[in-house]
Amino acid sequence: MTLTRKDFFKKACLSGACFCGFTSLAVHASNPSESTNAAEPDDKNHKFMQDWILTLLLNIDENASDEECRKIMKPCAMAHYNYLEMDKVLAPYVGDIEKFTRFISEKWDWKIDYNQESGVIIADENKSQCVCPMVNKEKGVRSSILCYCSEGFAEKMFSTVAGHSVTARVISSIHRGNERCKYEIALN
């Protein structure tokens, strides 16, 4: 079997065997209190990593189907979920979807439409800009495949609260030309 360049990068990055400095980003994310002594060069490294990630995203977007992009990007949500220690954040809401939706409405300013009969939540982030930390706002980077990562984050978050697997789907996205980012969460 011949391994294409695309397959190599996909497997290397997904397995953590990437040699471009991405690993140091992951290490720093897992222990943000540990910093290097050279803080200013970190800005240059950060820009390099953003550019590298942007190039990777654009190449994935151009060379993979929507379903392949979803399969690649959705699991990436776990890095952000773990970095934010979301299990701790969500602990008071596990088993109580209504309490959680009140929390994200009041504290995060999300607009929630919860149809208990159908078990479907429409969750509107209610922001006029993308809040994804991977987006380079200075360059105006708009990679719509990042929305699959957000989809994975919403899915993990609501699954944790519900206590069972749920399905999340982005139904509106700033990067896809909509005014706000919205998710459809199927609890059943």
pLDDT tens for residues 118-163? 999 999 999 988 887 777 666 555 678 888 999 999 999 999 999 9
Report residue 64 as tokens. Answer: 């993979």
Distance CA(34)–CA(54), nearest Å, equals: 26
Determine contact, residues 125/180, Cβ cutoff 8 Å: yes
Q: Domain 5-186 maps to which CATH number in 3.30.70, 3.30.1380, 1.10.760, 3.40.50? A: 3.30.1380
Top-confidence residue, 90 or 48: 90
User: What are the tokens at 127?
Assistant: 């922001």
Residue 44, pLDDT score: 86
Q: Give the residue from 92, 89, 91, 121 showing the smallest Cα distance to 108.
A: 89
pLDDT on residue 40? 60
Give the model's confidence band at 30: pLDDT under 50 very low, under 70 low, under 90 confident, else very high: very low
- pTM, two decimal places: 0.73
Ranges 38-42, 46-50, 66-70, 161-165: which has the least confidence:
38-42
pLDDT at 178 exceeding the cut of 50: yes
Q: Which has more confidence, 45 or 88? A: 88
**pLDDT at 170 (0 to 100):** 94
Q: What is the mean pLDDT of residues 48-56?
A: 82
Q: Is the pLDDT of residue 11 over 80?
A: no
Distance (Å) of CA 152 to CA 63, 89, 158, 163: 21, 17, 10, 16
Residue 140's pLDDT is what?
Answer: 53
Domain definitions of the chain by residue range: 5-186
C-beta separation of 168 from 183 below 8 A: yes
Q: Are strands 111-115 and 120-124 parallel, antiparallel or unpaired?
A: antiparallel
